[in-house]
Amino acid sequence: MIQATYTTFLAVGLGGAFGAMLRYAISLWAVQRFDALMPTATYIGRFMGTLIANAIGALLIGVLFVVITEKGIIAESWRPLLVVGFLGALTTFSTFSLEAVGLLQQGEWPTAMVYILASVIICMLLTWAGIELARWY
């Protein structure tokens, strides 16, 4: 059973605040960069922002899994702050799902399929890479 304390709730909230702020910063950056590069591609920056945030989170969760669970470099007590709070707010399956459904509803099937496959494949590969990198270190 998971023991929930006020400190744990505070850690999740604090981590979540920083994860959400980073996610928002990544989204702003992606919209500026990608919409300027590809002005004819509707909302490409928004999709790339979500993909980049999820990719960073996938890599980091792989690393944190090893350094917390396997190597004990970071104490288990940091998991609520780093994994649940920070990475939970940084990454977002719900936004990815909404964007993919929106593309499908607009008839953008090829773009939707590339987005879905790229998101799943890239994030799974980066989670694996994070695990392997942390194990190697």
pLDDT in tens, 63-76: 999 999 999 999 99
Instruction: Report yes or no: 34 and 44 within 8 Å, Cβ to Cβ.
Output: yes
Which tokens go with 87?
């990475």
Domain span holding position 76? 6-136
Domain contains 61: yes
Instruction: Report yes or no: 90 and 81 within 8 Å, Cβ to Cβ.
Output: no
pLDDT in tens, 116-131: 999 999 999 999 999 9
pTM value? Answer: 0.88
Domain contains 34: yes
**Cα–Cα distance list, 132 to 39, 59, 62, 64, 72 (Å):** 38, 10, 8, 11, 16
Q: What is the mean pLDDT of the chain?
A: 93
Domain contains 1: no
Which is nearest to 103 in space by CA: 24, 54, 43, 45?
A: 43
Count of the separate structural domains present in the chain: 1
Domain contains 126: yes
In angstroms, the CA 2 to CA 104 distance is 39
